[in-house]
Amino acid sequence: QAQRERCEAHLEAATRDGRMIEIAANIGSSNEARLANDSGADGVGLMRSEFLFLGRDSAPSEDEQRREYQATVDAMQGKPVIIRTLDIGADKQLPYLTLPKAPNPALGVRGVRLWQSEPSLLDTQLRALLGVKPLRHLRIMVPMISDGSELEWVRERLEAMAAEMCLTELPLLGAMVEVPSAALCAGAMAHVADFLSIGTNDLTQYGLAMDREDPLLTGQADVLHPGVLRLIQASVLGAAGRCPVGVCGAAAGDPLVAPLLIAMGVNELSVEPSRIAAIKALVRRLDMAIIAREIDSLLTLPDAQAVRRYLVPLVESAL
Ligand code: PEP
Ligand code: MG
């Protein structure tokens, strides 16, 4: 059966009731892109570009970055590649970046907010990304966006830079939905974004006010908390089909949570390359309507444990 799953991993996956779900990969480098492509990924749903910036004495040059992004796009052989702009904060320090000490790093200058204090770092990355060919295979995603205006600001920068470089074609531009305000304002965001991708790791952290790094809270920081699920639902309903919505947090690769995300209307799941085959097999066995009609009941449950108890037999019955 494992052998069959691996072969079928290279085919697209639709649910039993006929909805295509893109199963993409989360990667950190062009080497991992090769692994993702070999694993049957339909694309890259999240390349965490910060790995290129960590563990060194100076920032990678525009040229070095462009080569790495190009190698990633090349490795995926024409499938869409979403590269996320730098998501460094005061917690993940770069030795060549001196940010003032943040009282609460998780709530400080990180993700898109870094653009204001370090414009040349992020502009260099944008220029490197715009040097990739062909640009239609590339999608740029911005982390820690809190509303549509922030993404609009990035779009203006992107367009100005493309004009400077005499480019006629622009890559798609999307936002991560990982800050609760972004989930609640998804409607306005969808007017500015070409796509949205829900980062359930941070959305859980910020939605529940529980530090994802705190070992004392790991059991409680649960994506199945009805409050977090309501944020996910708000993102999908807010986008209202105006732009595709994916999930790139760890929940996307969880066999209990993935069916619920699909039933809520998510179009794409981005998972570790080693999970591609299993998640595609899961999608093919899923009758999502069975779960979809229970979502309103699930959301009225009091806590994550109750949702879990309700969801386990429900997902079993839908497979
Ligand atoms: C997330 O927050 O869910 C996410 C995918 O981004 P990261 O884990 O890199 O913060
Ligand atoms: Mg995140």
pLDDT tens-place string over residues 247-289: 999 999 999 999 999 999 999 999 999 999 999 999 999 999 9
Task: For ligand 1, atom 10, name the residue with the nearest CA.
Answer: 202
Pairing of strands 20-27, 13-14: antiparallel
Task: Report how far apart, in Å, the C-alpha atoms of 100 and of each of 56, 83, 109 are.
Answer: 20, 27, 9
- What per-residue string of b and e applies to 115-141 under the rule 16 or more CB within 10 Å gives b? beebeebbebbbbbbbbbeebebbbbb
- Check: CB of residue 231 under 8 Å from CB of residue 203: yes
CA distance linking residue 269 with residue 67, whole number of Å? 27
**Nearest atom in ligand 1 to 46's CA:** 5
pLDDT of residue 90: 55
CA distance 32 to 305: 35
284 burial via Cβ count (<10 Å: 0-12, 13-18, 19+): middle
Closest ligand to Cα 248: 1
Q: Of 59-63, 75-79, 104-108, which gets the smallest average pLDDT?
A: 104-108
Q: How confident is the model at residue 48 (pLDDT cuts 50, 70, 90)?
A: very high
Ligand 1 mean position to 250 CA, how many Å?
8
CA of 70 to the centre of ligand 2 (A): 24
The pLDDT of 200-213, averaged and rounded, is 96
Pair of tokens at residue 224: 């199945």
Nearest CA, atom 6, ligand 1: 199
Ligand 1 atom index nearest CA of 248: 5
Is residue 2 very low, low, confident or very high in pLDDT (cuts 50, 70, 90)? Answer: confident
Q: What is the pLDDT of residues 117-136, one digit of tens each?
A: 899 999 999 999 999 999 99
Q: Residue 259, exposed/middle/buried by CB under 10 A (0-12, 13-18, 19+)? A: buried
Nearest-angstrom CA–CA distance, 49 and 86: 6
Ligand 1 atom nearest the C-alpha of 198 is: 3
- Buried residues in 72-93 as b, exposed as e (16+ CB within 10 A): bbbbbeebbbbbbbbbbbbeee
Q: Residues 149-206: pLDDT tens digits?
A: 999 999 999 999 999 999 999 999 999 999 999 999 999 999 999 999 999 999 999 9
If one residue of 107, 176, 235 were mutated to test the ligand 1 pocket, choosing by the most ligand atoms within 8 A of its CB, it would be 176
Q: How far is the CA of 2 from the centre of ligand 2 (A)?
A: 31
* Ligand 1 atom with minimal separation from the 202 CA: 2
pTM beyond 0.95: the answer is yes
What is the whole-number distance in angstroms between the Cα of residue 223 and the centre of ligand 2?
Answer: 13
Nearest Cα residue to atom 3 of ligand 1: 199
3-class state of residue 262 by DSSP: helix
CA of 121 to the centre of ligand 1 (A): 21
User: ω into residue 105 within 30 of 0, thus cis?
Assistant: no
Tokens of 94: 């770069």
Chain segment 178-193, per-residue pLDDT in tens: 999 999 999 999 999 9
In degrees, to the nearest 5, what angle opens at C-alpha 59 toward C-alphas 55 and 65?
Answer: 100
End-to-end CA distance of the chain: 16
Q: Which of 279, 270, 267, 318 lies closest to 295, judged by CA?
A: 318
Lining ligand 1 with CB less than 6 A are 46, 48, 87, 178, 199-202, 248-249
| Amino acid at site 210 | M
Identify the pLDDT of residue 91. 65
Question: 244 C-alpha vs ligand 2 centroid, how far in Å?
Answer: 19
